[in-house]
Amino acid sequence: MQILVTGGAGYIGTPLCLRLLELGHGVTCWDPGLFGFHFPSPLPGLDLRARRVQDMSAQDFEQIAPQWVLHLSGLSNDPMANFAPQMNWEENTRASEHVGALAKKFDVPLVFASSASVYGYQPDAILTEDCDVSPIGHYSESKAAAERWLSDHVPRVFCLRQATVMGWSPRMRFDLLTNGMTLSAFSQGRIQVLYGGREARPQVHVLDLVEAYVRVLSTPRLATGVYNVSSSNDNVMGLAQVIQSQLKQQYGRCIELAVTDEARKHRSYNLSSQRLTDATGWRATRSVADTVDELCIRLSEPDFDPHDPRMLNIAWMKLLFDAQSILDRAGRIDTTDRGQ
């Protein structure tokens, strides 16, 4: 099949594109490359379009002729949304409306990378897709709004409400919960646990999430609608304790848990992914402990730099913002040899 992946150069999009190519699909990755491109080169079968989703025209879409659209493009996480709320709305909601309208025009099914954060604060139940959403903050509000628009306007849409994602990706992120706490434990011997660690945060490994997309693509007559995607229901303290235990068992290191106990009513929820399992046969295969071991192996590699700012979304965005304002004053940096 020919598949269009928006946001295909991201933390989830990069391994997703690689997996689709491995399965023999033709893949168009549409991504402006805000965090760079992390594909091996050359990569036969990949059509890379380094552009914003909003710049995709009907002619572009018709020329690509996708049989599926996997829409992962957008800003990811609360700090980025709070730093640039208008950009967050444009990239997460308006861009979804744009690509959704193109999918509708050409009658192409669309899978939307939504977020379980739309459930907000509902820690006392296992949430199914029929439970009410109650988004808190710019990020989850933009995802919920995109879901509503797509569900109302695109006949063949599948919204995947993704748990907090963890694990290694070529476009790595250490601003995600398990990833960030593992980095802190490995490099500093300490994990900061905020708000008493009581908040419930389901997790899913990035490669298990990739397989969820693959199952959606390959399941005939799959019902449209919303699907939760989660491998385990965890709270923050439980995650910290798993990381602490793994570092002790595998490396003999004692990790301090620095716990503070401020109160807040923020995102907290547990998920059921039974609908996705029943419909597609998908099941997660990677645990939090597996993820911690995987990340520690990567962090042990001598040439790996975990402090690359591109691995922290908000840090990189702030650097780009500062650089943009400076270049607006100073002009473009030209590295052309003066003799040419």
Span 84-123, pLDDT tens digits: 999 999 999 999 999 999 999 999 999 999 999 999 999 9
The confidence band for 338, taking pLDDT boundaries of 50, 70 and 90, is low
CB 89 within 8 A of CB 149: no
Contact 109, 158 (CB under 8 A): yes
**pLDDT, tens digit, 9 for 90 and up, residues 208-253:** 999 999 999 999 999 999 999 999 999 999 999 999 999 999 999 9
The arithmetic mean of pLDDT across residues 166-187, rounded, is 97
Q: pLDDT band for position 143 (50/70/90)?
A: very high
Cα(148)–Cα(161) distance, integer angstroms: 13
The pLDDT value recorded for residue 335 is 84
Lowest mean pLDDT among 167-171, 289-293, 336-340: 336-340
- Amino acid sitting at position 18: L
Whole-angstrom Cα distance, residue 69 to residue 62?
12
Q: Which of 98-112, 163-177, 201-215, 254-268 has the lowest mean pLDDT?
A: 254-268
Q: What is the 3-state secondary structure (H, E, C) of 32-74?
A: CCCCCCCCCCCCCCEEEECCCHHHCCHHHHHHHCCCEEEECCC
Sign of CA dihedral 6, 142, 221, 131: positive
63 vs 265, higher pLDDT: 63
The answer on pLDDT for 340 being more than 80 is: no
178 touches 231 (CB < 8 A):
no
Going by pLDDT thresholds of 50, 70 and 90, the confidence category of residue 332 is confident
Q: Among 11, 5, 279, which Cα is nearest to 171's?
A: 11
